[in-house]
Amino acid sequence: MSPAKKSVKKSVKPLASSFYEVRRSKIQGRGAFAILPIRKGKKIDEYWGKRITHDEADRRYDDSEARHHTFLFVLDDDTVLDARYGGNDARFINHSCDPNCETVIEHGHIWIKAMKAITPETELTYDYRFEWQDDYEPEDVRYYACRCGAKKCRGTILRIPVYLRATIKQWLAGNDVPVQKKPKKGAKKAVKKVVKKVVKKAVR
């Protein structure tokens, strides 16, 4: 009897998506452009990259060196995908504040999905929504300025807390006004209750 052959686990190489191709983009660098009609809800591609820890991601990249986080994608509380290593063309899909795609995490995979019907020659985009850090200063916000050109552009690829929107607008305009304090939990509800009571009294 011949000895059993050992099974060798081969790394799977991501296949190129048939829905788009990478070209120069007006938004930034290179972008992904549809080459076929894409229906709403269609999974266009999977975001690939080497799976690393959050600590490893922080160790590898320093915000003061370059604008690099477009290639990092948070999968969960433990894992980040670094598309600089083993990544596919999905890493070239640019940000927009008014996107035509969204990202969906399913069973440990990140999918790029169409939010609306997309015609050929249209650039594919999704909202990066980088997490807001409480220690961000005006220069940090301007560092992550958005150039998507959308009418609904919020000026930055950061996800801005509602209470800071007015402040961030000033920062992006070059006015380094003091940051607003974060409202205490329940403060908004308390105000609503007071308003309701006043309205009821006025009706009586």
Domain hosting 137: range is 129-204
* pLDDT on residue 179: 86
* Burial class for 179, CB neighbours closer than 10 Å (0-12, 13-18, 19+): middle
How high is the pLDDT of residue 47? 94
pTM: 0.76
Burial class (CB in 10 A: 0-12, 13-18, 19+), 46: middle
96 and 152 in a single domain? The answer is: no
Q: Is residue 3 part of a domain?
A: no
CATH number at residue 66: 2.170.270.10
Phi-psi domain of 159 (left: phi exceeds 0; alpha: psi -120 through 50; beta: other): beta
Total count of residues recorded for the chain: 204
**Same structural domain, 147 and 85:** no
Number of structural domains found in the chain: 2
Provide DSSP, the chain: -PPPPPPP-PPPPPPPPSSEEEEE-SSSSEEEEESS-B-TT-EEEE---EEE-HHHHHHH--TTT---GGGEEE-SSS-EEETTTT--GGGGPEE-SS-SEEEEEETTEEEEEESS-B-TTPEEEE---BPP-TT--HHHHHHTB-----TT--SBSB---GGGHHHHHHHHTT--PPPPPPPPTTHHHHHHHHHHHHHHHHH-
Residues 175 and 111 in one domain: no
In a shared domain, residues 48 and 26: yes
Residue of 20, 126, 128, 136 with catalytic role: 128
Q: Give the tens place of pLDDT for each residue, 38-61.
A: 999 999 999 999 999 988 988 887
| pLDDT for the residue 8 | 42
Do 143 and 102 reside in the same domain of the chain? no
**Residue 163 annotated in active site:** no
Q: Would residue 1 count as lying in a domain?
A: no
pLDDT per residue of the chain (204 residues) written in tens, 0 to 9: 444 444 444 445 566 789 999 999 999 999 999 999 999 999 999 999 999 998 898 888 766 555 545 688 888 989 999 998 999 999 999 999 999 999 999 999 999 999 999 999 999 999 998 889 888 999 999 989 998 999 989 999 999 999 999 999 999 999 999 988 787 776 555 444 543 444 444 444
For 149-166, the pLDDT digits (tens) are 999 899 999 999 999 999
One domain for residues 73 and 172: no
Give me the residue label for tokens 């992904």.
32
Residue where one domain finishes, among candidates 97, 127, 157: 127
47 carries an active-site annotation: yes
Question: Which pLDDT belongs to residue 106?
Answer: 93
Residue in 20, 47, 126, 136 annotated catalytic: 47
User: Which of 101, 127, 153 is a domain's end point?
Assistant: 127
Of 103, 127, 151, the residue that ends a domain is 127
Domain co-membership, 118 together with 21: yes
Residues 81, 84, 85, 87, CA torsion sign: positive
Residues 187 and 115 in one domain: no
155 and 197 assigned to the same domain:
yes
Answer whether residue 4 is part of any domain.
Answer: no
